[in-house]
Structure formats: structure tokens, C-alpha cells
Amino acid sequence: MIRIGIDIGGTFTDFAVWQGKEGFDRILTHKTPSTPPDFAEGIKTGLRDLLPRIERAPDEPILIVHGMTVGTNTVIERSGAPLALLVTEGFKDILRLGRLRVLKPFDMFSSRVEPLIARSEVYEIDERTAPEGREIAALDTGACVTAARNAKAKGIHTLVVCFLHSYAAPAHELAARDAILAAEPDMDVVLSHEVWPQEGEYERATLGVLNAFVKPVMSAYLGEVESFLAEELPEARLFVAKSNGGMMSSAEARVFPVHTLLSGPAAGVTATQFLGQLTGQDDLLTMDMGGTSTDMSLVRDGRSITSNGSEIGDFPLTLPVTTIEAMGAGGGSILWTDGAVLRAGPRSSGARPGPACYGRGGTEPTLSDAYLLCGYLGDALLGGDLVLDRAASEAAFAPIAETLGTGTAEAADNAITVATATMVGRAMPYMARLGVDPQQLTLVLFGGAGSIHGPLLADELGISRVLVPPTPSVFCAAGCLVAPVIHDAVRSVRGPVEVEPVFEQLEAQTRDWLAGQIEPGWLLGTSIERYASMRYVGQSFSLDVALPEGGGRAEAEAAFHAEHQRVYSHADPAAPVEFVELRVRIVGLLPTPPGGDSRSAGTGEAAPTGHRPMRFAGQTVDAVPIYARGDLGAAASVDGPAIIDQVDTSILVPAGFTATAGEIGELVLERKA
Amino acid sequence: MDAIRTEVMRNRFAALVEEASIILYKTAHTTFIKQTQDYQCAMCTVEGEVFAYPRSNGVATLVGLSLKPAIDRIGVENIHPGDVIITNDPFSTEGMCTHTPDIFTLRPIFHEGELLCFSWAFAHVSDVGGAVPSSISPSFTEIFQEGLRMRPVKLFREGELNEQLKDIISDNCRIPSETWGDIIAMCSALSSMDRRIIELVERYSVDDLTAGIREVLAYGEAKAREVISDLPDGSWSFSDYIEVVAGQPLLLRCTMTVTGSDVLLDFTGSSPQVQAACNFVTGAAPHPALVRCFVAYLLSSSPEMPMNGGIVRPIRTRAPKGVIMNAEFPAASGNRAASYTRIYDLVLGCLNQAIPEALAGGGGSQAAIIAASVTDPLTRKPRVSVIQPLIGGSGGRRSMDGIDAIDTPFGFLRSAPTESVEHEMPFLVRRFGLVTDSFGAGRYRGGAALEIELENRSHEATFSVRGCDRFTFQPWGVAGGAAGHCGGGWKNGEPVSMIELQKLGRGDRLHLRSPSGGGFGDPLERDPEAVLLDVRDGLLSEARALVDYGVVIRDGALDLQASGAARAEAKARTEPQDGLFNVGAQRRAYETDWPEPSTVALSIGLLEAPSGLRSAVKTWVTERQPKGADPETVNALLKEGLAQIL
């Protein structure tokens, strides 16, 4: 089997290819410019370039996993389909009220997020189900049809239905769809309980709305990619990356595109988890630093952290997704003085115009300009394709230098110190929330700017070990290359409940789902994970607990007390415990690359290719050695301060750290004892 | 100010308080902390000034807190490494603690024998004893009903727990283990901040730390002064009422004086303290409750404003001893949130006058929470649950409409999902939504009212709405905007009092409506498209569109020509408004009988009387005060009444 991972970014579309046998160190990578707004063009071009380089038997199956931001952008730009919503009578404002809280409670001029559906397109339907699932008022199917026809008259073809307690008793939602489709067969009807059957009407309605909002866009996009593949690569099967770190079939993604909304950063975490397995490391902190943003995430005990408290475009996304923390600053973050104080971000020069040194019209000083002025970057990036304009960086930093009464290089050095402090300000509370100690973690760096600023941040956070993957700039594509098929199923439960039968039903549900995604012959195996959201009776918040398979209620309660103790530092084993929600995750495992043997393939002792003066935290070092990544072999170790250049990134080795090459082509920076 | 050190230290400080705030939240036990985030921690200087305050979690409004009274009470010379000071007493801390369930803790941070700063934490614990569970009732008349009271004392002496104190606390709480759990959670947060400060000192130096503290505070002050300097110099007054004591509207008043980059908020003229729990204690330092609106204005004006006590340095406050916001021993203060809310409105009223284009209309501004109690049929024990906040829309704002259903100072609150409410309690929520034609009209309209309708499915349920207000006086409009509307309550369609407990039998329906926000600016200048949008959304009737906005809408479409004529006619019809505010018909009628200046004169004059007699003198005067009496008449009556009663 051949696996191809594809990841679309704003600037580049990245490819990673595994041809079935070779180690992770030998996977093929490729980059082609993205082609917004018609992103499919970039994919086609990239695949056409790439295919001749792949060796394959005539009918060897090809599995393509595509990570994308098509849905994400549609939500953020609010450019999706016009929709109407059907709700239980009395709840017309379900979207408009949200959970009341405004976006920025400190700001007198803040409000809640504007819903994606106007109040005039929300239809109240006479129907009611009690919390225990009993029907209180029958469904007025005539009102459903009238609502659908009213919406259709306004050019709306997609309806969302969210009735109270449908997560437990979906009969009314199903009957509403049947009635609407019988009368108006060309309408598309999205039911909230089918998207995610969870208690909490605002969040469930929002998931239904988000799904419906991106559905036509996603369907058109995937349709285009599918027909291209049908023509040029009929033996390929298309899969789409999910926000939970797994993937699903393209057909599934066309029905439930909501699962792709946070898939971009999740793929990088999946790749990190895989890298951890290959290198035998269980606790890793990721840092994905691009031009406009930096994302962090955690892999603990070999697993990424899943939460259902994420957001997209200010909307709650209460699906189980890989937890990502946005850190604000990126390589394009703008430095500025506020009175007499130097500050970094949150404004960014973005992809356009970008840093001043890129010569695309940017005039404001950015972090990338600071890297150049401090000597961390050479004269060009991308193997010489992007020549950097040092004079532009100096001009951009001149006003700050004047305010501070320093030279431009010193101002740039100070700017980096301030930016690092800003990142520490975000990273420390993030780690506190997850209850991890930085000293136990390995920092994994990817994204264009991660391997320059990451080591500086590691030093400041007290992290002693930093890992740079072989091709950090296509790391998310590599994540698509190694992702398993993953699906989550949920059931909200209340009161005294027999847990085992519910888990068995959920497991059957996930197995059915998996069977619909992929032929069993492709899978190496499947695993089932059980989770429960539990709490002490009377508590107003609950805790997610991983449950041992086959364990009964007693084991579940013991697991809950232990997790409560771990997270909150106290537990009450005598107090009664209740279940709020049960969840099952199925993981369908696919072939992935083995490790590698790059350590022995190296060329031995490394010799610097040159020297440059650099500034580090107030000190100038006259001749810092520059190495070429390809020169570093098994025996080679490089002491900081040093820079290691490779085509897609530069790696900064701070003073006090030593860099060595690893077996799968990764570079490991360790603090000297 | 060192350009780099200031920013590095600001971020370091912010990180360590955010971290401690998370630790406190995660390790605390009781509901108020978990559900309503009623807790916080911060770092403060040796002088008691907050130099770092979290943004992401917990109570947002205490950034200007002064811990000096508590430190002074113990005496800085008596404070040693490993000590933890605990208190919940408003009177011995000049209102640092504002009601008894708020427990405050302080820990000195020493390095090589030198006191560097303090870490601080507070939590609203669910019970500290007293006459009712949770220790708060609006009708309490003195603090002794509100449970255990501790002046600043040492909970830990040089690292050693004061076991007797622990026993006293435990013996005076209904839920001792939970309350103690919260106290230990605070101690964990305090230790975390201590550890991080010592790490900073070891990485940098004591000098860098102390300079950093000085600089971040100076930075905060400079930013605040920048915003204040943009206000014109001058002095503005505003009065408003709380109606939490039945049949007795209490006038609160603020005069704001801006001089350069300094501000004075003077609450002279406000009502003397009352025999109810809406009083609170303040001291010499600007109390967070008094400066809350002004601080909100500062933070809204400059998104980069540092979160520290430096931003309140330009603000001074004055509240005479004995008024509601500077109450004397032994006033009750459990329900002081009612006064907090109105004080926010007072300062907003002053800012509206100071800022040439005004700022925002008055909001629903009631800190109301709907709670219910049912008896569990199996255990026979009462089950109590908070249902939803019922606050009301905010006022229209100078460039945008008000927020529907919630007011600006309560923007941090979250409602509960209806599906969860129905699982927790035996009710059906029949309706939870916005009310058509409810907001005050304006160029930028007020926020719509929120309505909830509950149907009881159990044998019997009892409801209370704690913190309701705005029963008769409407939220005011500003700059030509109309006043908002009052809220109300109905049981099976019949009006009921929102103050009294409501008992519901099976099938009974309770219907509660919040106030709505006042408008901003002349409704006749509202964009007709915005009027149309409200009509299409079903939030405004076509009839009100014509009457309030002069906008003609036929069959869902704008008739611009007819609207032009309707607006011209409406403009000719409306009398020019005298003044910036539209306080609504009810308050205008009340003040015809009880003119504002006379009520202010009475409040000021009453302070001359011995505190124990003020209530009697007030009754004596008001019983004899002729309708529409001027301040001179009131002053004469006061003199006479005082003589009679003495």
C-alpha cells in the first residue's frame, strides 16, 4: 500500500508519501504553492508532479489522506450556505442567546457572536419531549413542511433541526425530516442528534448549524478532487483528516464536514504522537509556529489530549477534538512600543505583506526581521528562493531602536526577549491547566519559525530536551500519512444507569461506522477505547475518565476517584458518583512507516559551512558556526550556540545545548548537564 | 521604566497569577467557585497594591483591591516566612472583604529574610454559618446573622497550622469539610505564586523583581492616565435608585470630577445605610465596587491596558461614613451586589455627561439569579438548584445596539442549558427567549428583555429570584434614546411580587421577565435597514417601528418615502428633550413628589443625626414632607425632627 498525506496551508500545499516499505526517514516530501480560492488546483498540480516519482505496482492500492482548511475558512469568513433552523416552540433564540456570556467580558463594547442564521429564519415548531424521553406534545409535521417551504421561497435549501432532548429521544427530529423530504425532496435536512447526540441544546444546535453551513462548500470541493482522482488515479481512495487526529472516508466528510473544522493543527499532533512512538518518548509538547500564529499541544503517556471544549470562529465546537492552545505570536508578529514599553503582537503582518525582509511591501518590524538582524537567518530562505532584505529589516526596526536608544540589532534582540516572555505567559498557564511539569517534557518543533524560537522558549520554560523532526515544514502532511481511522460515539445518560449495555451499543455503532469507511482487509487491527464523563452527585461539573475495557461500575468509580485526585488533588471515595455521558472511540489501524537508520547513514564529523556574528539576550557572539543539516552524521554533535540550516528551516542551538542527529532523521537538542 | 524588563516581568507576573488561578479553581471544592467562578488570586506589593491579576479565570473586578488594611492590622513587622493570614471581616479590613462568605488569604513572600511581596487569594465559600444556609439573605439587618466573622489572623504561623482556628472555622460552618477544602485550595495557589516568585528572583535578581513590580504598576498608571486625559476636565453628578427594600426607593448618587489625568468619584448624597443586607463597607482606598464601571471604561478604552492596581492610582473615591457604600458596624452586607450594580450605573451616568458623544444607555442592571427548591420524594430532603441568571438587556452603546438579555457588567455569566435544568429539577422550561417590543428605542437600541416560563412537574416547588430590582424605575435612555422597560413576574398569568418566594403546585406556571436596556441616541436617526432587520427578526412590531422610529414597513419591506414623511412628522411632534437622560415616566412622576435634590438633602442631613436614630428621623421627616418639597423645606423638617427625637 502507498500512503499519501496532503495538507493545504495558506501559502503552500504539502505532500508526504510513503511507498510501503521504507522507514520514516525516507518518506518522500513535496511542496507546491497553494492556489486560493480554488485549492483543488494546487492539489492536482502537486499530485501530477509527484506521481512520476512514486514507484508502484500497477494495481497497488493508494490511500490518500487530505488535511484541509476548506471548512475552517468557510466558518471564519462566514461564507457558507444560507440556512434555516427548526426548534422547539419557545426556543426561537437558541442561537442568539447562546450561553449568555459575551465574548470579552472586560469590554463594554463586546457582544456575543452573531449567529450564522438570522432570527427570521428560525422556525418554532409545536412539539415537546420530556427529559426522560417521553413525548409531551406531538410533532406538528405540517408546521415543519410550512417552515421548509417558507425557507425554500427565500432560496434556502439546507435546514437544521434541533429539538429539545433529541439526543435521548430523536423520534421528532427523524419525523420532521421524513415529513419535509416527502413534501420537498430536494431539501437537505441536517438533524442535530445525528451530528452529535449530546445534552446541551445550544452546543448541539451549533454543531448542526456548522455542519450544514460548510456542507455544500465541502461537497463541491471533495467532488472536484474525487473526479480528478477517478480520472488520473483510479486505484486511490480519498480520506479526509478529522479534528480528533484520525481520518474518515471522503463520502463521510461530505455528510459530516463538521469533523474537519480543527483538523489542520490536529494532524501535526498526530505526527508528534507517531514520532514519540518511533523514538520511545511518551510526553511531548508540540510547538507549531508559522507566520501568523503559534499552536501548542500536548502528548501525554503517548496520547494526544482530547477535549470537547474547543472553539471555531467564536462558536463552541463540543466534539472530542485534539486540544490545541493558540499562543498568539508567529514569525509575522509585529513589534511595537507602547509609550516606553516594548511589546510583541498580537497584530501580525500575516502572509501579506509579511515581514519587511521578505520584500513584499511590509514595513513594520516583525519577529522574522528580528531573527535576521540577530543573525539567526542567513541571506535567503527556501534554499535560496526567497532572498531576504536586511536593509528593509533595519529600516523597520529603526523607530524602535530610536525609542529604546539602541542600535537596530540590539532592538531586535530585545524584541525576541519580549516575544519569548509573551509566549511564556501563554505556555505556563496552559501547562498548569493540564497539570504537567515542563521539565518532564520534550518540545517538538515544526512550522516555519518553530525551530528558531522554540529552543529559546524551551530554555526559558526549563525544558531540557527539544526535538526537530526531519522535515518540519511538511510535518502536518506527515501527520496525514500516519493517521488511523478514528470515530467517536457518545450517549448522554442520567440517573441510575446500566453502563455496560450502553457501551456495547456504542461499540456496535462505531464498528458499523468503521465498516462503512474502509474494507476490513486494509486494516491492521482495531482498538476500542471507553470514556465516561462522571461527577459526584450534586456536583455541577464533570470529569472525563478513561475506563478499563470490560470493567464494571465499581472499576469505573475507582477510575473516577483516582482521576479526581489527580486533577483536583482531592477525592471522596465514600461519596456517590453518577455518569453524565458515555463515549466510545474506535481506532482502525493502518500500515505506517517503520523507524529508520539515518544515524548510521551520516557522513561523520560535522564541519561548519561558515560563521556569522549573532546576538543572544544582550550578548554578541562574533563567530557562531553554521552547519548544513545534511552534513550531520551519526557521530556528529554540535554544541550551541550554532545554527543548523536545512532547506525548509533553520534550527537554532542555544548556548548550553548540544544537538545530535537521531535515527529517523530527527535532530535532538539537549541541555548539557 | 525599562522598556524590556517591564514587558518581560509583566508577562512573567501574568503567567504566574494565571497559573495560580487555575490551581485554585481546580482544587477548590464548593459550587460558587466551580459554577460561578467566584474566586480569585493575585500578587501584591508590600504596601498591599495588586501588581499582577489574572484575566482568564475568576472574578474580574478586584484588580484595584488594596490589601493594606489587612497587612496593617497584623503589622508588617509581625509577619514572618510561612505565615498565612486569613480574614472575612469587612469591618476590620475597611471593606477589603465585602461579605462574610468571601474568605481572603494572604501569604508573605520572603527571600533571604527580605519581604518581597504578598500572594493573595479569595474564594466565595458556600457557607460560613449564620441564620440561613449559604449565609446570605437580603433581609438580614446585621452582620451577626451572616455567620462566622474573622478579623485578620494567622492561619499558619511560620508554616505551622493554627489548629484551634481550624476547629473554630469547622465548628461554625454547615459544610466544614468543603469549606476547609476551599481554604486549602487557596493555600495551594498562594504557595504556587510564592514558588514562582522565588524562581524569578533566582533567574533574574531581587533588584530586577522589585524594579519590575514598580515598573508594571507605573505602566498601568501611565496607560490609565492616558485614557483619563482624553476626558474633558469638569464635574458631573448622577443619581439612581435601588428598590430592594420594599416601598422605599433608595437614592444613590455619584459626582465625578476629572482634573487632568485624575478622577474623584464622590458618593456624597447617597442614602444612609439601611436595615437590610444591601450595604457594604469601604475605606480610604478606592474600593473595587466603587470604581468598577470606571475600570471597565479604562479596560474597554485600551485593550492593551495592563491588569494591575496601577490603573486605579489616578482614581480617588469619597463616601461619607454611614451611607450605603460606606456602612458602619454592624451593617449587614450579604446582598451588596444590588448596590454594586446601581453604583456601576451611577458612574456610567457621569461618564455619559463627561464624554461629548456619550457612552451607553442604562441596562437592566439587576444581579438576579433564579433559584428553586423541591423536596426529594425519596430522601425527603430539599434539593436546591440555581436555574438561570435573569439580568436584562444592556443599554444601547455609542456605536452599537445593547446586548440582548444580559447587561455589560454581567457579561461574564453563563446560562445553563435548558436540557440540563430539566434533568436537575422537575420543571419544564416552556420558553427561554427574547421579548418582542421590549427594548428602549434609540439610534442604537437597548438590549431586549429575557423571558423564562417554567412549569412545575412536581408536587410542590419553591422559587426565589435573589437580586431582582428595577421594579418601577426603568433603565434610562441617553442622548435622545428612550428608557427601557421594567421586568415582571406572573404565576399562571397573574402578576406576582418578584421579592417573595413563590410556591408552585403541580402544573403551575411561573413566568419571569427581566428589564430591558435603555436606548442610545434619537430613534428617528436609526438606520431604517436596522429597524427593518429587527422587524424581520420578530423583535420589533411594525406598529412600534412606526411609532418609535418613524419607519414604515409594509409586507416585510421598507417604504422609504412614507418613512421620510413619518419621521418628519414625528420630529415635529416630539418635544425637545431637556437633558441627556430619559429616566422614564415612573421616575419622573416619583420625583415630582420627591424631588431628587430634596432626597439628596435629606440623605446628607441625616448623617448629622446619631447613627442609631437616622432611621427614625428619616421616617419622621418623610411622613411630614409635602409633595414636591424643596431642599430648604426638607432641611427645616430635618432640624425639627432631630430636635423632637433627641
Cβ-proximal residues to A153 (8 Å cutoff; 6+ apart), any chain: none
Cβ-proximal residues to B547 (8 Å cutoff; 6+ apart), any chain: none
Q: Which of A101, A417, A429 sits opposite B414 (nearest CB)?
A: A101
Q: What are the grid coordinates assigned to B57, written together?
A: 479565570
**A570 and B CB contact within 8 Å:** yes
Same domain, B372 and B520: yes
Q: Quick: pLDDT tens for B331-340.
A: 999 889 889 9
Q: Say which amino acid occupies B596.
A: E
Same domain, B389 and B432: yes
Q: What pLDDT, on a 0 to 100 scale, did the predictor assign at position B301?
A: 94
Report the alpha-carbon distance of residue B157 to residue B145 in Å, rounded.
Answer: 30
In this structure, is residue B566 part of a structural domain?
A: yes
In this structure, is residue B307 part of a structural domain?
A: no
**A600 and B CB contact within 8 Å:** no
Sign, CA dihedral B138-B142-B148-B151, equals: positive
In this structure, is residue B120 part of a structural domain?
A: yes
Q: Quick: pLDDT tens for A339-380.
A: 889 999 888 887 778 899 999 899 999 999 999 999 999 888
Q: What pLDDT, on a 0 to 100 scale, did the predictor assign at position B386?
A: 77
Same domain, B535 and B623: no
Q: A415-434 burial by CB neighbour count: b if 16+ within 10 A, else e?
A: bbbbbbbbbbbbbbbbbbbb
A3, A65 in Cβ contact below 8 A?
A: yes
Q: What pLDDT, on a 0 to 100 scale, did the predictor assign at position B58?
A: 85
**B345 and A CB contact within 8 Å:** no
CATH architecture of A79-218: 3-Layer(aba) Sandwich (3.40)
H-helix or E-strand spanning residue A141: helix A141-153
Interface of B with A in 323-342 (CB under 8 A): none
Residues on chain A touching B431 (C-beta within 8 angstroms): 90-91
Same domain, B529 and B616: no
Same domain, B532 and B557: yes
In the predicted model, what is the mean pLDDT of residues A265-293? 91
B174, B136 in Cβ contact below 8 A?
A: no
Residue that is last in its domain, among B550, B577, B604: B577
Residues on chain B touching A329 (C-beta within 8 angstroms): none
The count of other CB atoms within 10 Å of the CB of residue A439 is 10
Same domain, B47 and B146: yes
**A566 and B CB contact within 8 Å:** no
- Three-class SS string for A447-498? CCCHHHHHHHHHHHHCCCEEEECCCHHHHHHHHHHHCCEEEEEEEECCCCCC
**A485-589 maps to which CATH number?**
3.30.1490
B282, B274 in Cβ contact below 8 A?
A: no
Q: What are the grid coordinates assigned to B412, written together?
A: 461574564
Q: Which of B14, B418, B536 sits opposite A164 (nearest CB)?
A: B418
Q: What are the grid coordinates assigned to B96, written together?
A: 477589603
Indicate the average pLDDT of chain B.
Answer: 93
Q: Quick: pLDDT tens for B50-103.
A: 999 998 888 888 999 999 999 999 999 999 999 999 999 999 999 999 999 999
B574 pLDDT tier (thresholds 50, 70, 90): confident
B365 alpha-carbon distance from chain centroid: 9
Strand, helix or coil for residue A241: strand
Q: Which of A106, A124, A423 to mutate to test the interface with B (most CBs of B within 10 A)?
A: A106
Tell me which DSSP letter residue A29 carries: E
**Residues A110, A112, A118, A122, Cα dihedral to 10°:** -150
Q: Given a cut of 50, is residue A476 above it in pLDDT? A: yes
Cβ-proximal residues to A401 (8 Å cutoff; 6+ apart), any chain: A407, A408, A410, A411
Same domain, B568 and B614: no
A142 vs A58, which has greater pLDDT? A142
Same domain, B636 and B608: yes
Report the alpha-carbon distance of residue A44 to residue A217 in Å, rounded.
Answer: 18
**B234 and A CB contact within 8 Å:** no
Instruction: Give the nearest chain B residue to A124 (CA atoms).
Output: B431
| pLDDT above 70 as % of chain A | 98
Segments in A284-389 forming alpha helices (H):
367-373
Q: Quick: pLDDT tens for A540-588.
A: 678 889 998 777 888 899 999 998 888 777 788 888 888 999 999 999 9
B127 pLDDT tier (thresholds 50, 70, 90): confident
The boundaries of the domain holding residue B494 are 358-577
Beta pairing partners, B239: B253
Q: Given a cut of 60, is residue B533 above it in pLDDT? A: yes
Nearest CA to CA, how far is B232 from chain A (Å)?
A: 20
Q: What is the CA radius of gyration of chain A?
A: 26
A537 pLDDT tier (thresholds 50, 70, 90): confident
In this structure, is residue B248 part of a structural domain?
A: no
Report the alpha-carbon distance of residue A79 to residue A76 in Å, rounded.
Answer: 8
Nearest CA to CA, how far is B18 from chain A (Å)?
A: 6
| Interchain pair A421, B11: CB under 8 A | yes
B105, B120 in Cβ contact below 8 A?
A: yes
Q: Quick: pLDDT tens for B21-48.
A: 988 988 887 766 666 778 999 999 999 9
Report the alpha-carbon distance of residue B13 to residue B20 in Å, rounded.
Answer: 11
Q: What are the grid coordinates assigned to A633, written together?
A: 552524521
In this structure, is residue B310 part of a structural domain?
A: no
**A119 and B CB contact within 8 Å:** yes
A364, A333 in Cβ contact below 8 A?
A: no
**Residues A602, A605, A606, A611, Cα dihedral to 10°:** -170
A212, A151 in Cβ contact below 8 A?
A: no
Of A261, A260, A212, A258, nearest to A239 by C-alpha is: A260
Q: Given a cut of 90, is residue A479 above it in pLDDT? A: yes
Of A516, A481, A532, A493, nearest to A320 by C-alpha is: A532
Q: What are the grid coordinates assigned to A101, written together?
A: 456570556
**A576 and B CB contact within 8 Å:** no
B376 vs B71, which has greater pLDDT? B71
Report the alpha-carbon distance of residue B38 to residue B25 in Å, rounded.
Answer: 10
In the predicted model, what is the mean pLDDT of residues B139-157? 95
Instruction: Give the nearest chain B residue to A114 (CA atoms).
Output: B403
Into how many domains does chain B fold? 3
Residue that is last in its domain, among B200, B222, B244: B222
Q: What pLDDT, on a 0 to 100 scale, did the predictor assign at position B346?
A: 98
Same domain, B497 and B619: no
Report the alpha-carbon distance of residue B329 to residue B332 in Å, rounded.
Answer: 8
Q: What are the grid coordinates assigned to A216, written together?
A: 455544500
Cβ-proximal residues to B356 (8 Å cutoff; 6+ apart), any chain: B232
Q: β-pairing, A525-536 with A306-307?
A: unpaired
Report the alpha-carbon distance of residue A371 to residue A412 in Å, rounded.
Answer: 7
Same domain, B461 and B571: yes
Q: How far is CA B403 from CA B338, B446, B450, in A?
A: 20, 7, 11
- Which of A197-201, A261-265, B204-208, B512-516 has the weakest average pLDDT? A261-265
Cβ-proximal residues to B425 (8 Å cutoff; 6+ apart), any chain: B372, B374, B383, B385, B387, B461
Q: Given a cut of 60, is residue A286 above it in pLDDT? A: yes
Q: What is the CA radius of gyration of chain B?
A: 26
Q: Given a cut of 70, is residue B504 above it in pLDDT? A: yes
Q: Which residue has the cell 537554532?
A: A652
Report the alpha-carbon distance of residue B415 to residue A97 in Å, rounded.
Answer: 9
Residues on chain B touching A113 (C-beta within 8 angstroms): none
Q: What pLDDT, on a 0 to 100 scale, did the predictor assign at position A602?
A: 52
CB pairs under 8 A between A and B: 190
| Interchain pair B16, A91: CB under 8 A | no
Domain ranges in chain A are 79-218, 485-589
Q: What is the ipTM of this complex?
A: 0.93
Q: How far is CA B507 from CA A127, B422, B454, B491, in A?
A: 18, 15, 10, 11
HSE (side-chain half, CA atoms, 13 Å) at A574? 0
Instruction: Give the nearest chain A residue to B399 (CA atoms).
Output: A109
B249, B241 in Cβ contact below 8 A?
A: yes
Q: Say which amino acid occupies B378.
A: L
| Interchain pair B11, A403: CB under 8 A | no
Same domain, B402 and B532: yes
Q: What are the grid coordinates assigned to A397, written together?
A: 526596526
Q: Quick: pLDDT tens for B152-210.
A: 999 999 999 999 999 999 999 988 888 898 999 999 999 999 999 999 999 999 999 99
Q: Say which amino acid occupies A211.
A: N
Same domain, B572 and B599: no
Q: Given a cut of 90, is residue A327 above it in pLDDT? A: no
H-helix or E-strand spanning residue B242: strand B234-242
Q: β-pairing, B262-266 with B315-318?
A: parallel
Q: Given a cut of 80, is residue A440 above it in pLDDT? A: yes
Q: What pLDDT, on a 0 to 100 scale, did the predictor assign at position A600?
A: 47
Sheet holding A83-88, edge to edge: A122-125, A83-88, A158-162, A188-191
Residues on chain A touching B3 (C-beta within 8 angstroms): 337, 340-342, 403-404, 414
Q: Which of B15, B226, B539 sits opposite A429 (nearest CB)?
A: B15
Q: What pLDDT, on a 0 to 100 scale, did the predictor assign at position A584?
A: 96
Interface of A with B in 144-203 (CB under 8 A): 164-165, 167, 199-203
Interface of A with B in 90-109 (CB under 8 A): 90-93, 96-97, 99-102, 104-109
In this structure, is residue B27 part of a structural domain?
A: yes
Q: What are the grid coordinates assigned to B436, written together?
A: 418582542
Residues on chain B touching A568 (C-beta within 8 angstroms): 26-27
| Interchain pair A106, B432: CB under 8 A | no
Residue that is last in its domain, among B577, B608, B623: B577
Q: What pLDDT, on a 0 to 100 scale, did the predictor assign at position B31?
A: 64
Helix A390-404 crosses helix B3-27 at what angle (to 10 degrees)?
A: 90
Residues on chain B touching A429 (C-beta within 8 angstroms): 15, 18-19, 22, 56
| pLDDT above 70 as % of chain B | 99
Q: Given a cut of 80, is residue B382 above it in pLDDT? A: no
Of A345, A306, A341, A332, nearest to A423 by C-alpha is: A345
Q: What are the grid coordinates assigned to A94, written together?
A: 437558541
Segments in B504-608 forming alpha helices (H):
528-536, 542-549, 560-573, 585-593, 596-606
Q: What pLDDT, on a 0 to 100 scale, did the predictor assign at position A2?
A: 93
Indicate the average pLDDT of chain A.
Answer: 91
In this structure, is residue B317 part of a structural domain?
A: no
Residues on chain A touching B18 (C-beta within 8 angstroms): 425, 428-429, 432
Q: Quick: pLDDT tens for A1-50.
A: 899 999 987 778 899 999 988 888 888 989 888 887 888 999 999 999 99
Segments in B454-584 forming alpha helices (H):
528-536, 542-549, 560-573
Most confident of A279-283, A517-521, B149-153: B149-153
**A541 and B CB contact within 8 Å:** yes
How many residues are recorded in chain B? 646
Q: Quick: pLDDT tens for B389-445.
A: 899 999 999 999 999 999 999 988 888 899 999 988 899 999 999 999 999 999 999
Of A294, A107, A292, nearest to B304 by C-alpha is: A107
Segments in A462-609 forming alpha helices (H):
475-482, 499-517, 553-568, 598-601
H-helix or E-strand spanning residue A128: strand A128-129
**B418 and A CB contact within 8 Å:** yes
